Each structure stands twice: as C-alpha cells, then as structure tokens.
Amino acid sequence: MNPTSPPDPEEMGRNTPPSPDAPPHETAPVSSPSFAGEDDGEAPQEMPAGAAPERRFPWGLAVLLVVFSFLANLTATTSLAILLNVPRNPRIELLLISQFAGHAVGAWVAVRGLLMIQRTTHLKGRSLGIALSGGIGSRIGHGLRIYLLALPGFILVSSLFMALSEQFGINVQQPTIQRVIKQVFGNPGAIALFFLIAAVGAPLWEELVFRGLLYPAARARFGVWAAAIFTAFAFALLHETMRVIHDPRTFLLPIFYLGVVLAIIRERTESVVPCMIVHAVHNGITLAVTFTFGPGMPP
C-alpha cells in the first residue's frame, strides 16, 4: 500500500477488532453430512462419546441361555418335589407348587440372560422386547386384536387336527395332564394352583424363552418368517413331551399355529409383554372350557 494514499475502509474493517457494543455477526449454519437411509426432516442421531455400537442379537448365546433356562426349570421342579416328599406323598397341590417354582426359576434365568445380552451387545430394551414403557398398554391391545383375528384360524386348525388324528387312529391325548386334571377336579385349592401355572407361570417362562430369547436371535440370523416358524416348531416340540403322538402329518398343529401367532405379535408390537398376556388369555380360556365341559388339552 502507498503510504500517502488514504486507508482502505474494507481493509480497516478487517484489521479493527469488533466493538463490544456492536451486534454479533451472523454466520450461516454449517450443515452436517447426511447418511444413507436418514430422514431429511430429522436430525442425525449422534452416538454419545465412549458409547459402544449396537450389535446383533447373539444366536449362540441365546440358544445356550434357552437350554440353561430349561435345565434350571427342570432342576428346580425336581428338587422342590423331592424336598416336599412328593414321591411318597403324591398330593397334587405339592406337585403343582413344584411345577410353578420351576417355571419361576426358569423365567428368572431367562430375564438374567436378556440383561446379560443387553450389557454385552448394548441393545436397547425395545430391541430385546422387554421395555415396559412407550405405550405398553396400546401394544397389549394390539396383541389382543391380532389374537382375536387369528382365533377362527385356531379353531379351524384344531378341528382339522382332531379330524386327521381320528382318521389315522393317532392318540393325541396328554396322559400327564389328563391325570393331573382328574386329580384337580373337586379340589378348589388345586384348581387355583392349576390356573396359576397355566395363566401365569407357563406364559411368563415360555414367552421369555421362545419370544424373548429365541425369536430375536433367530430373526437376526434367518429373517422374520423363518424365525416365526422355527420358534413355533420349538414351542410345539416342548408340548410334544406331554403327548403321545408320532405322526408328522398332524404334528401338534394347534400349538404350532399358536406359536406362529405369538411370533407375529412379538414382531408387530416389538415387545414380549403382549405375548405373555395373549398366552395367558388363551390358556385361561382353554382351561375354563376344560373344567366346564371335561378334560381337554390346554397348551
């Protein structure tokens, strides 16, 4: 710059510090980079510093936890039955108490397993299906609506199952449950315990195992429908141990159908809680019909 020329106003503005009384200079907001699959109307979710990324539901660990939960249930039931001297004092109330305790221990093992998976994979409660917030009432209502829509199909499948069984001469009765029901009739305390197991213990434990642990692991590995079919098959296989049936053409169709419906409810509601409620309602209705019209086959 020529020393004799007047100072440039623009250059003076750059070199002069701003006055404290001057209004702040506005700057254009800096746009963050967009990510694939991100909605333009929503701000990107930033991961907190030091947070580990979410991983998939672990298949191998889930299967091990399912087996461990089964063993814990069996061990607790057998141990309490021996402690209560059920083999020498075969009172039906003691047998039912042992069974309910086994379900409770198996459910506790499944819950501890889900919490362990949450810690190791950093999955959210909603991904695990155990979140109790976020409109759980509406999710339960949605699950009940799905069950009501599927109920005619369940009746049709049950009728088909019985017709095929009669045609092929297959015994589809549950000898263990039949004996229990005959002992329960006329005993109000035993009836209450039986309903407690069927409407509370069994839905709690079975849903934590099949729709809580096994379904999300199979879904992450095989996809939605393959996971629904797989878990429904495993669900029916559990009840196979209480039946006398060996023909694959009529393999526990009603229980398999119910397992598929419960998997759909788990998928649509993203929670295992509606599955427990629907399972409890289904077992309660089945038992009510059983005790009203005679021994039946409650799942």
**pLDDT, block means (10 residues), the chain with 299 residues:** 52 52 48 36 44 70 94 93 81 88 96 90 74 79 94 87 70 58 75 89 95 94 95 87 48 85 94 95 86 55
State the pLDDT at residue 29. 45
State the pLDDT at residue 244. 42
Indicate the angle between helix axes 175-184 and 188-196, nearest 10 degrees: 140
**Rg for the chain (alpha carbons), in Å?**
30
The pTM for the full model equals: 0.75
**DSSP state, residue 251:** S
State the pLDDT at residue 170. 59
- Rounded distance between C-alpha atoms, residue 275 and residue 272, angstroms: 5
